[in-house]
């Protein structure tokens, strides 16, 4: 019994506190380029934007022509504030992409359409103001919009 009490006394309050590992927001590492992204598109990824929002992308559809992600904007409490779909085309010569660009009279650098009013807003586009999903894609792997 005295050995046990001696061991308890050795484990005192003076011991350094152990720090826990930070929680991982996304297991997908940041991708270095659009080419890497397109060659191996992640099923899900998260990107923090403006130190305020977490933008989560979940692949909901893929075919020979494009990828379609559901993008959600979460606040720091984890509540979803807004959602949109993002179409990433595998080829700039896609007839669907060309049709959308003609229909909405917009130009894109990379073949991405974000189905959100801010993406199609002529004044925001002329000022080169990126909406939250575009900012997240630019930070995550380098997609360009202007």
In a domain, 56, yes or no: yes
- Name the one residue in this structure whose structure tokens are 């997240």: 136
In a domain, 19, yes or no: no
Q: What is the pLDDT of residues 75-101, one digit of tens each?
A: 878 889 999 999 999 999 999 999 999
In a domain, 146, yes or no: no
Residue 60 structure tokens: 């909901």
In a domain, 44, yes or no: yes
**pLDDT exceeds cutoff 60 at 124:** yes
C-alpha–C-alpha distance, residues 63 and 66, integer Å: 6
- 10: Cβ contacts below 8 Å, ≥ 6 apart: none
pLDDT for position 42: 95
pLDDT for position 99: 95
What residues make up the domain containing 57? 28-141
C-alpha–C-alpha distance, residues 25 and 22, integer Å: 9
In a domain, 20, yes or no: no
In a domain, 50, yes or no: yes
C-alpha–C-alpha distance, residues 37 and 69, integer Å: 13
- Domains: count for the chain: 1
Strands 53-62 and 112-114: unpaired
Q: What is the mean pLDDT of residues 52-69?
A: 94
118 or 3: which leads in pLDDT: 118
**pLDDT exceeds cutoff 80 at 5:** no
pLDDT for position 23: 52
Lowest mean pLDDT among 10-19, 74-83, 134-143: 10-19
In a domain, 134, yes or no: yes
């Amino acid at each position: 019994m005295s050995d046990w009490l001696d061991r308890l006394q050795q484990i005192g309050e003076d011991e350094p506190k152990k720090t826990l590992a930070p929680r991982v927001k996304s297991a997908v590492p940041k991708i270095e380029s659009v080419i890497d992204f397109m060659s191996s598109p992640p099923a899900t990824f998260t990107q923090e934007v403006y130190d305020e929002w977490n933008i989560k992308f979940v692949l909901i559809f893929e075919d020979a022509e494009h990828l379609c992600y559901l993008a959600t904007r979460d606040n720091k409490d984890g509540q979803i504030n807004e959602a949109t779909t993002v179409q990433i085309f595998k080829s700039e010569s896609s007839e669907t992409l060309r049709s959308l660009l003609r229909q909405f009279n917009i130009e894109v650098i990379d073949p991405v359409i974000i189905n959100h009013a801010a993406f199609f807003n002529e004044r925001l586009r002329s000022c080169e103001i990126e909406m939250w999903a575009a900012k997240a894609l630019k930070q995550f792997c380098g997609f360009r919009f202007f």
